[in-house]
Amino acid sequence: MDATQREATIVGAGLAGALMATLLAQRGWAVEVYESRGDPRIHGFAGGRSINLALAERGLHALRAADADRDVLAQAVMMRGRMVHPPGGSPQLQRYGRDDSEVIWSVSRGELNITLINAAEAAGARIHFDRRLESVDFVAKRAFYRGGGELHRVGFATLIGCDGAGSTLRGQMRARSDLGERTEWLGHGYKELEIPPAPDGDFRIEPNALHIWPRGRYMCIALPNDERTFTVTLFMATQDEGNGDPSFETVPDAAAARALFERDFADALPLIPGLDHDFDANPIGTLGTLYLERWHLGGDAVLIGDAAHAMVPFHGQGMNCAFEDCVALARQLDATRDLAAAYAAFEARRMPDAAAIQKMALDNYIEMRDLVDDPGFLLQRELELALQARHPTRFIPHYAMVTFMRIPYSLALERSEVQRVILEDATRGRSSLDDVDIAALDPVVEAALTPLEDSP
């Protein structure tokens, strides 16, 4: 290694860790990555969190930077919109965008992780599997990893924490300096179930959609997998909330789950032949939002992805945001060799955006489980598209700003709030778009919203 080569140690070879390793190794850094799990290419992917994920433009853009986008898209299933399954009614597709240039992609977490691990190694990063970070001595600049029955002591120049929501590195940083950490638990959890392929080997329901069964304060969703299955996720309260709605407390086992599906998700039940087994075998996942006031410890360590700002999954943006973090951090590290300055600039730039997507993700739970089959909500969506057609650079639907653009999340939130007021005021007391004087809204839109360009 030449004396000017820059060095980083990355903790975690999950989604953010493997991408961060790729980006830095491509820039000529000496990168060592320590991952607590075994190599998924040898042992298979030992998941933990969701089986598949929605990939959107922010994540894709980051994958392009790592030259991994084509491999990932080759295994992805396109989702054009939400297929909403009302109780007792027939499913309706609500498009996410204007056409097939505005879609999201369902990707397998395991396949995506393996693609990125391969990319990181191809770029020159060294990944050490079965090495769980246990503790850090920031004074001596040594980290201790447990693996193969031994404790390994390894020096570091700087640590980049990509070890997820339960980050050990964060705990070690907190022990040295107050990070202003706070977690707000949602009080709702999730359980994953599976829709297998049909007997002829095809998908059992429309593959190019994210299916939603909204039921007020709880819901099911299903995302397609390229092996023609769907992963179904049931979201509901973890404890009985005393409001008559089901919860994991009142639906504790397969028999109770079957009764719930018979009552509330009748069209989904025949699609899930393994319901009893899946419900009893799969764990209940917990959901929360992690807020920190500081993401770095001088130039010694920085946190990115879920380790810095875990969020609830309802906007499908946690991974997309983590990937955007990687690009943003690499950019700051390109700008200066002063690590503390680069980490401070990264934190200042990204923290407002992380807070914005965390808020939008919480708001989207209400939208998905409660509003997507509400006539008032649907009228607002119709008006949104009509205003976008009249003002394509000014009035861009909330979902499009978050999902199909790369403008800062904080700007998307700010503009969404302005647009929400316009939509609510214009549709109040109306039941059809014919009752709305759209031309009268032109000066309102022009006064409230400046033309918007996507980030370069």
Q: Name the residues that contact ligand FAD, by CB under 6 A.
A: 11-17, 34-37, 49-50, 53-54, 132-133, 162-164, 168, 190, 233, 285, 305-307, 313, 316-320, 322
3-state secondary structure (DSSP) of residue 230 = strand
Nearer to ligand FAD, 163 or 194 (CB): 163
**Which CB atom, from 84 or from 169, has the smaller least distance to ligand FAD?**
169
To the nearest whole angstrom, how small is the minimum distance from the Cβ of residue 289 to ligand FAD?
A: 12
H-only helix segments in 124-272: 168-176, 254-264
User: Cβ closer to ligand FAD: 167 or 427?
Assistant: 167
d(CA 134, CA 144) in angstroms, rounded, equals 6
Q: Where are the beta strands (DSSP E) in 92-224?
A: 92-95, 104-108, 126-128, 132-137, 142-147, 150-155, 159-161, 182-195, 210-214, 219-224
Backbone torsions φ then ψ of 94, nearest 5 degrees: -110, 110
Edge-to-edge strand list for the sheet holding 104-108: 52-55, 104-108, 77-79
156 neighbors 192 (Cβ within 8 angstroms): no
In the complex, the smallest distance separating the C-beta of residue 436 from ligand FAD, rounded to whole angstroms, is: 33
CA distances from 347 to 48, 63, 309, 313, 403 (A): 28, 22, 11, 22, 22
Nearer to ligand FAD, 12 or 214 (CB): 12
How far apart CA 44 and CA 398 sit, in angstroms, is 38
User: What is the DSSP secondary structure assignment for residue 315, as one 8-state letter?
Assistant: G
Contacts of 327 (CB under 8 A, 6+ apart): 23, 61, 62, 65
Residue closer to ligand FAD (CB basis): 22 or 317: 317
Q: Which is nearer to ligand FAD, 115 or 168 (CB)?
A: 168
Percentages of the chain per state (helix, strand, coil), in multiples of 5: 40, 20, 35
Q: What are phi and psi of 450, to 5 degrees?
A: -80, 160
Please say which residue, 304 or 441, places its beta carbon nearer to ligand FAD: 304
Residue number, 29 or 190, with CB nearest to ligand FAD:
190
Question: Least distance (Å) from ligand FAD to the CB of residue 285?
Answer: 6
Ranked by CB distance to ligand FAD, the top (closest) residue is: 14
**Measured torsion, CA atoms of residues 357, 363, 365, 367, in degrees rounded to the nearest 10:** -120
CB of 179 to ligand FAD, least distance (A): 16
CB nearer to ligand FAD: pick between 168 and 388: 168
Residue 357's closest CA among 330, 318, 329?
A: 318
